[in-house]
């Protein structure tokens, strides 16, 4: 069984991650379409702003909670997080005006960012190392499983005729999670307060910038990857606005998390096999897959090109996303590691803003007389350029191995 040997509390948190992922990703794939329908009927620029708030808030607003969380119990903060999420999405149902949606999305971002932060802090607080590893692994699989089911559920819903009710359904999903945490989540302890202040961490990074430049390269890799990842989420918007939304789009979007759940272990082995032969060549192969995905999107007018797009992109994701976090956590000096790991979340948050930027750019291109498909052509050219430049940097001879620089102690 999946939960065999795990505590009841761990099972509850994993279930919460699974259901939360369903609610979150149902909105991720549908919200751009929902806001085009009555009673919303927002402009592309209004939709872009809401997409930006939604994407950024899920990770970027965690900085707001960082000084608050250590003062209170895990359970209380977890319940507060889901109360915010339930209230925010229910608020969109009851108050569908644009300004109210902005406020509700900001509140939702506060709640979702707090759930992510509390879950990671609780897993990190587990004393048994085996249980801690099991927790992180289980949460990752649960989130991807929920993300895999969500697109199928999303496009099976009557979103074209009941746009507002979708938000109420998402609120109900989070309410189930809130109830489960209220009755069964009893960790009975508080987070450990950080002994190093944020000011000290920033000062250390500034003072030893040359030493930590490779870690910053990894952060930049994460930013580039997340910028490409969030373009997937506006593909349904593009199809509905400028082509035709195929009936199988939900299944296409489900392929990405399903591939991750089933194949991530094999791709990790391939990454480290490549890493032993040439430093960071796995990242280059990952970006090559991403570039090939965007090329597949523009190479054919057939709706079936979406299958090639999502499979190639998932391959790139499995080479890039997990290994950025791993390399930073494994090799970066402990004095700067907490700050670097928090910056990974900021990179994801910044990358999420490209959901809204993509909608705006696509609209501007169409207004200027270019086909909407040209936005995906620009993405393909960008990542082909990244592959070329990255290959030159990786395959040229360097005196100090790329990863080893991170382990060099500060003078």
DSSP state of 202: H
Candidates 241, 357, 345, 234; CA nearest to 294 is: 234
Helical H runs in 71-97?
74-94
pTM for the full predicted model: 0.68
Q: How far apart are CA 261 and CA 371, in angstroms?
A: 36
Domain segments of the chain as ranges: 1-193, 196-411
Helical H runs in 243-304?
249-277, 281-299
Burial per residue of 263-287, b for 16 or more beta-carbon CB atoms within 10 angstroms, e otherwise: ebeebbebbeebbeeebbbbbbbbb
User: Using an 8 Å Cβ cutoff, are 44 and 357 in contact?
Assistant: no
Token pair for 367: 């207004």
Q: Which sign does the torsion angle of CA 205, 207, 211, 216 carry?
A: positive
User: Using an 8 Å Cβ cutoff, are 85 and 108 in contact?
Assistant: yes
Token pair for 145: 């499983």
Q: 23 CB contacts (<8 Å, ≥6 apart)?
A: 85, 89, 150, 170, 173, 174, 177
Q: 62 CB contacts (<8 Å, ≥6 apart)?
A: 113, 114, 116, 117, 342, 345
Q: How far apart are CA 334 and CA 402, in angstroms?
A: 18
Specify the pLDDT at position 202: 60
Topology of 1-193 in CATH? Growth Hormone; Chain: A; (1.20.1250)
Equal CATH topology for 1-193 and 196-411: yes
Q: What value does the CA radius of gyration of the chain take, rounded to a whole number of Å? A: 21
Topology of 196-411 in CATH? Growth Hormone; Chain: A; (1.20.1250)
Q: What is the pLDDT along the chain (411 residues), one digit of tens a residue?
A: 444 545 778 888 889 999 999 999 899 889 989 999 889 999 988 998 998 888 788 877 777 776 677 777 888 889 999 999 999 999 999 999 999 999 999 999 999 988 887 887 777 677 665 666 567 667 777 888 888 888 889 988 988 888 999 999 999 999 999 999 998 887 766 555 555 555 665 665 556 555 566 667 777 887 888 888 888 878 888 888 888 888 888 788 888 888 888 887 788 788 878 877 887 788 889 999 999 999 999 988 888 899 999 999 999 988 887 677 666 655 666 555 556 666 777 787 787 777 778 888 888 988 898 988 888 999 899 889 888 888 887 777 444 343 343 334 333
Q: Hey, how many other C-beta atoms are within 10 angstroms of the C-beta on 335?
A: 15
Element (H, E) at 57: helix 44-60
Instruction: Please identify which residue in the block is written with the tokens 């997340």.
Output: 226
Candidates 9, 115, 105; CA nearest to 49 is: 105
Q: Which sign does the torsion angle of CA 330, 333, 335, 340 carry?
A: negative
User: Using an 8 Å Cβ cutoff, are 237 and 363 in contact?
Assistant: no
């Amino acid at each position: 069984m999946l939960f065999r040997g795990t505590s009841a509390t761990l099972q509850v948190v994993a279930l919460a991650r699974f259901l939360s992922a369903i609610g979150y990703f149902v909105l991720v794939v549908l919200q751009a379409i929902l806001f085009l329908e009555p009673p919303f009927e927002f402009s592309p620029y209004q939709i872009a702003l809401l997409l930006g708030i939604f994407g950024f808030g899920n990770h970027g607003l965690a900085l707001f909670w960082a000084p608050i969380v250590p003062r209170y119990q895990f359970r209380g903060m977890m319940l507060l997080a889901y109360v915010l999420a339930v209230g925010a999405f229910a608020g969109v149902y009851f108050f569908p005006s644009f300004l109210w949606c902005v406020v509700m999305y900001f509140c939702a971002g506060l709640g979702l960012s707090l759930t992510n932060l509390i879950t990671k802090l609780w897993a990190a607080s587990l004393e048994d190392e085996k249980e801690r590893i099991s927790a992180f692994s289980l949460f990752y699989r649960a989130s991807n499983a929920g993300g895999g089911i969500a697109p199928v559920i999303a496009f099976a819903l009557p979103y074209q005729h009941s746009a507002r009710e979708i938000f109420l359904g998402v609120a109900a999903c989070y309410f189930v999670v809130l109830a489960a945490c209220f009755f069964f989540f009893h960790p009975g302890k508080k987070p450990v307060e950080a002994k190093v202040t944020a000011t000290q961490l920033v000062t250390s990074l500034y003072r030893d910038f040359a030493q930590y430049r490779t870690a910053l390269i990894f952060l930049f890799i994460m930013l580039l990857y997340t910028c490409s990842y969030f373009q997937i989420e506006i593909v349904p918007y593009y199809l509905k606005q400028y082509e035709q939304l195929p009936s199988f789009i939900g299944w296409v979007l489900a392929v990405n998390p399903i591939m991750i759940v089933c194949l991530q272990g094999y791709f990790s082995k391939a990454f480290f096999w490549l890493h032993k032969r040439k430093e960071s060549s796995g990242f280059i192969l990952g970006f090559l897959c991403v570039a090939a995905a965007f090329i597949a999107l523009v190479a054919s007018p057939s709706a079936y090109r979406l299958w090639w797009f999502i499979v190639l992109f998932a391959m790139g994701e499995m080479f890039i996303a997990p290994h950025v976090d791993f390399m930073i956590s494994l090799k970066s000096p402990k004095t700067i590691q907490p700050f670097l790991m928090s910056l990974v979340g900021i990179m994801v948050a910044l990358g999420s803003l490209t959901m809204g930027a993509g909608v705006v750019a696509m609209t501007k291109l169409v207004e200027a007389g270019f086909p909407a498909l040209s936005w995906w052509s620009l993405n393909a050219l960008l990542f082909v350029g990244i592959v070329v430049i990255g290959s030159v940097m990786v395959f040229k001879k360097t005196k100090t191995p790329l990863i080893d620089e991170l382990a060099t102690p500060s003078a």
